[in-house]
Amino acid sequence: MSQDDLTIDTSRADPSLYNEDLAPLPHSKRNWGAFEIFNVWSNDIQSLFGYTLAASLFLSYNLNGWAVMAAIILAGVIVMFLVNLTGSPSVRYGIPFPVMIRASMGVRGSNLPALLRAVVGIFWYGVQTYFASTAVTLMITALIGSDGGSGMLGLSPVAWLSFLLVWLFQMAIFWAGIERIKHFLNWAGPLVYVVMVVLMGIVWWEAGDQLLPAVSEIFTAQGEGQGGIAAFAAIVGTMVAYFAAVVINFGDFTRFVRTERQMKLGNLLGLPLNVAFFSFIALIITAGTVVLFGEALTNPTDIVERVDALPLTLLAAVTFFAATVGINLVANFIPPAYDLANLFPRHISFRTGGLITACVALVVGALWVSVISQIGVPGFVNAVGAIVAPFYGIIVVDYYLIKGGKLDVQALFSAREGDAYTYTNGWNIRGLVAFGLAAMFSLSTVVVPAMESLAGFGWMMGAALGGILYLALMRSQAVTAPAQ
């Protein structure tokens, strides 16, 4: 099968494994380039949480600011390396993550990682929808001067209206198709940067010649802990873990990219360079808040509240809304849509999977304030996220070391006994064992108090362990790569 012809014989494809959304996307139908990949990462980091994380890293560790910046850039380089590995197969074969992992876990076994990833994505999609709605609530309240009084389930009438409007807005974008999503990301990423640069300029102007001394003070070692190598490693681990949700299923996006070179350029611009620039903006604004307000503010909404100016409030609300919807589409909507389609391809399309995601997330977001945030559910979902980590190592080791960088695309959609990825009734038992053993370790870094010190590195260690165990088990079976 040539790289230019990725069509498969649908008459030989198992209906329980195939639909048009999961099928290889021909190169002739791809129109994503480096700019689109750059904006995937821009939208991923430009959320409220992403800003707060970047700003707080300079304040939370007993580490020189230059070392913090170096750790952030190193994390961007590591993530770039990781996603180049997982993105390349989907550029070559035009397949999304749940189809890609059929090669290692089996055509039926792929449902396990798909289901786990879907659970994490759907939950956080609902939560992020709520947080995006707070930006709309901020805007409406600023305009009318009231949030409507008491409401229900911890949300005021304006908050409920905002939540439903955001939910419908996201659904409208999704329902219009992947091209509309691409256009939104391409618009939201640059817009947020423009506003952030303008805000940085305003803060710099207002702070005047006091800004640089404030930056210098932040760049001196401060914060809790012993600093040194341990603090440096903790920052790297924290930043890598921040991007972990997209690292595994990056193929969901790179299947739309024309060439691998464009993917790598987009990753270079969107990760180490983008992360460094965004962190610099967060640093300057944070230093400015020290000068203007007497304390370091790392939450953008706190900054807006202190300024108390209607034009800035409206502009900030639009920016927060765009940034949060962007990361929601990238990390929490598109992946579950593909994952659910992989479970029952005959009945669930990409659109249907997105509709299911949105409906479940509607309940999660509506109950976030009054119920879910109070009963420890986020801890459960974080644990599921840690469990998924070994699949990264399994995917990479299987494709590059076991399969030699070649896949039998037709076999990815076949459950016939003896085909390349059927294994044992559609399950690769050795892959399942490797996953189970590695997942127990990565999960323990989240739930076992004695291993809390490893929590920041749990994802990377779990991924590495999954790959090592998988390689050992598969090599013992002397598996050979299928012919292309």
Domains of the chain by residue range: 27-476
* pLDDT of the residue at 291: 87
Q: Is the pLDDT of residue 266 over 80?
A: yes
Q: Is the pLDDT of residue 182 over 60?
A: yes
76 or 43: whose pLDDT is higher?
76
Of 184-188, 214-218, 439-443, the range with the lowest mean pLDDT is 214-218
* pLDDT of the residue at 308: 67
Q: Is the pLDDT of residue 382 over 70?
A: no
Would you state the structure tokens that stand for residue 218, as one six-digit string? 């932040």
Handedness of CA 262, 263, 266, 267 (dihedral sign): negative
Would you state the structure tokens that stand for residue 253, as one six-digit string? 């996006």
Assign 4 a pLDDT band (cuts: 50, 70, 90). very low
Q: Is the pLDDT of residue 284 over 60?
A: yes
* pLDDT of the residue at 483: 46
CB 126 within 8 A of CB 368: yes
Assign 455 a pLDDT band (cuts: 50, 70, 90). low
471 or 189: whose pLDDT is higher?
471
* pLDDT of the residue at 294: 83
> For the residues 184-199, what does the mean pLDDT come to?
86
> For the residues 219-242, what does the mean pLDDT come to?
75
Q: Is the pLDDT of residue 10 over 50?
A: yes
353 or 199: whose pLDDT is higher?
353
> For the residues 168-195, what does the mean pLDDT come to?
89
Q: Which of 41-50, 287-296, 403-412, 438-447 has the highest mean pLDDT?
A: 403-412
The rounded distance, in Å, linking the Cα atoms of 140 and 157 is 11
Q: What percent of the chain has pLDDT over 90?
A: 46
Assign 223 a pLDDT band (cuts: 50, 70, 90). low
Give the fold, CATH level 3, of 27-476: Hydantoin permease (1.10.4160)
Q: Is the pLDDT of residue 92 over 70?
A: yes
* pLDDT of the residue at 76: 94
> For the residues 348-353, what does the mean pLDDT come to?
93
Assign 3 a pLDDT band (cuts: 50, 70, 90). very low
> For the residues 409-434, what does the mean pLDDT come to?
94
Q: Is the pLDDT of residue 436 over 90?
A: yes
* pLDDT of the residue at 229: 83
Residue of 484, 330, 410 whose CA lies nearest to 24 = 410
> Mean of the per-residue pLDDT values for the chain?
86
Q: Is the pLDDT of residue 478 over 70?
A: no
Model pTM above 0.85: yes
Of 102-111, 261-270, 417-426, 472-481, the range with the lowest mean pLDDT is 472-481
* pLDDT of the residue at 226: 54
> For the residues 103-112, what does the mean pLDDT come to?
96
Would you state the structure tokens that stand for residue 345, as one six-digit string? 């391809």
Q: Is the pLDDT of residue 366 over 70?
A: yes
Assign 254 a pLDDT band (cuts: 50, 70, 90). very high
